[in-house]
Structure 1
Amino acid sequence: MYNLKEKELIFVFTGPDGSGRKTVSKLVGKSTLQMKGVISYTTREKRPYETEGEDYHYISRDEFESAKNRGEFLESVEVNGNLYGIKELDIKETFEEAGCIYLVLNPEGSEIVKKLFGEKVIRFFVYADRDTVIARQKERGDDEEIIERHVAHYDEDMAYREECEHAFENYKLDHTAFEVTNIIEDYFRLKLAEKEAEA
């Protein structure tokens, strides 16, 4: 397993599907703070509004299971019959480019990463009420069957909020992004202060 260096942190964005966790992560991590994100692999089909290499790496189940058998995945989970995972080499290579990275994971994947890296992992739980996440999924073009599968996990996903370091009710994207950015910058300042104290 990859061993995080002293100043390296992983910021994980999690929460129910339709909460805006991925949108918040891109706005804060990529656009505002210029952090590097690590993209998950999945066996599910790409949706019309998604982009290969930006939302996920889309691979076959055989490819996924072969990579898993070779020990390439740092974490992997199965949700609604589809496999999802983060490759350890992607984590390592991204850390070589940047001191902190961000991930977008469902609660199960978030918990695995937290258990692996402990206090080096800061979880941001992004959520909205059930009706709002349903409306957002309809707006982006998900069909009814996909939405029903997502909503079936809603209560279970929401229960993970209590486990996370920070939680944000996401109704105004710019407000949520501003709050998350401030908290991440506080972590950066803390690390910088620790580094200066050691000098």
Structure 2
Amino acid sequence: MQLETQSLSSQLKQAGTKKPGLLFVLSAPSGTGKDSVINALKEKGTDFHVVASVTTRAPRPGESEGNPYHFVSHEQFKDMIEQNELIEYAQVHGNWYGQPIRQIVDNLQQGRDVLLKIDVQGAATVRQRVPGAIYIFLVPGSIEELVERLTNRQTETEEERQRRLLDAQHELAQQEHYEYTIVNRQGRLSEAVEQLQAIMQAEHCRTRPRYVQI
């Protein structure tokens, strides 16, 4: 009995030690509402780090350095690639986007969950490099809803909007490669937020958590 008690005590002590965070990868067609879902989940008090991507595109109205991207020149982006500072990078809608490795590693080591908000190209690269991550795909309620969202936000020209809609058809076909799918229906944001929160909580309840090493 003494040996059993000591063994249980040892297990409880080990269970109470700080564990590394989990890496979640969220992809979705442009205009599906990724930022709205993420921001609403943060407002609920869920603690996780959203990686601020680097991009060569110009800031949109309301955006600033570090919110939600780090805006860099093509030359700076090239230097980051050569210095192996990006876990993945790709050209999307005519601009380059990349995910800084250091943000991910530092937060995971501190026991904080990390969320990568990336397109299907980037997710495919990360999947090869980090198989222990959790992959989630966000879809609109319908293509009609997606068209309405892209039109209403008025951040692209008509040509750019049509290009994003064509890209969306390809991206939606990739959701079979993800472990979870969440539908973000128009006017029902809270449902998508609750599902994302449930996924993150459930992954922490696994008997064999999918911790990653980068």
Q: TM-score under structure 2 normalisation?
A: 0.80
Aligned residues: 188
- Which residue of 2 is the match for residue 24 of structure 1? 37
One-letter code of the match for 1:156? H
The reply on whether 1:173 has 2:185 as its aligned counterpart is no
- Which residue of 2 is the match for residue 87 of structure 1? 100
Query: 1:187 is matched with which residue: 197, 203, 209?
Result: 203
The reply on whether 1:100 has 2:113 as its aligned counterpart is yes
The reply on whether 1:37 has 2:53 as its aligned counterpart is no
Contact residue 29 and residue 168 of structure 2 kept, 8 A: yes
One-letter code of the match for 1:159? A
Write the distance in 2 (CA, Å) between the matches of 1:46 and 1:110: 23
Query: 2:136 is matched with which residue: 113, 124, 145?
Result: 124
CA deviation string 1:126-161 (max 9, x = no partner): 111222112112222223232122112011100111
- Which residue of 1 is the match for residue 7 of structure 2? none
Write the distance in 2 (CA, Å) between the matches of 1:182 and 1:62: 41
- Which residue of 1 is the match for residue 80 of structure 2? 67
Name which of structure 1's ranges 50-59 and 104-113 shifts more when overlaid on structure 2.
50-59
Structure 1 runs (4+) greater than 4 angstroms displaced: none
Residues 12, 30 of structure 1: CA spacing in aligned structure 2 closer, same or farther, 3 A cutoff? farther
How far residue 188 of structure 1 moved from its aligned partner, in angstroms, is 1.4
Quote the RMSD (CA, aligned, Å): 2.1
Rg comparison, structure with higher value: 2
- Which residue of 1 is the match for residue 9 of structure 2? none
Contact residue 50 and residue 114 of structure 2 kept, 8 A: yes
The reply on whether 1:163 has 2:177 as its aligned counterpart is yes
How far residue 56 of structure 1 moved from its aligned partner, in angstroms, is 1.0
Residues 99, 51 of structure 1: CA spacing in aligned structure 2 closer, same or farther, 3 A cutoff? same
- Which residue of 2 is the match for residue 152 of structure 1? 166
Write the distance in 1 (CA, Å) between the matches of 2:201 and 2:32: 23
Name which of structure 1's ranges 23-32 and 72-81 shifts more when overlaid on structure 2.
23-32
Contact residue 29 and residue 171 of structure 2 kept, 8 A: yes
Higher helix share: 1
**Structure 1 unpaired stretches of 5+:** none
Same amino acid, percent of matched pairs: 24
How far residue 95 of structure 1 moved from its aligned partner, in angstroms, is 2.1
One-letter code of the match for 1:121? A
Contact residue 14 and residue 106 of structure 1 kept, 8 A: yes
How far residue 32 of structure 1 moved from its aligned partner, in angstroms, is 3.3
- Which residue of 2 is the match for residue 13 of structure 1? 26
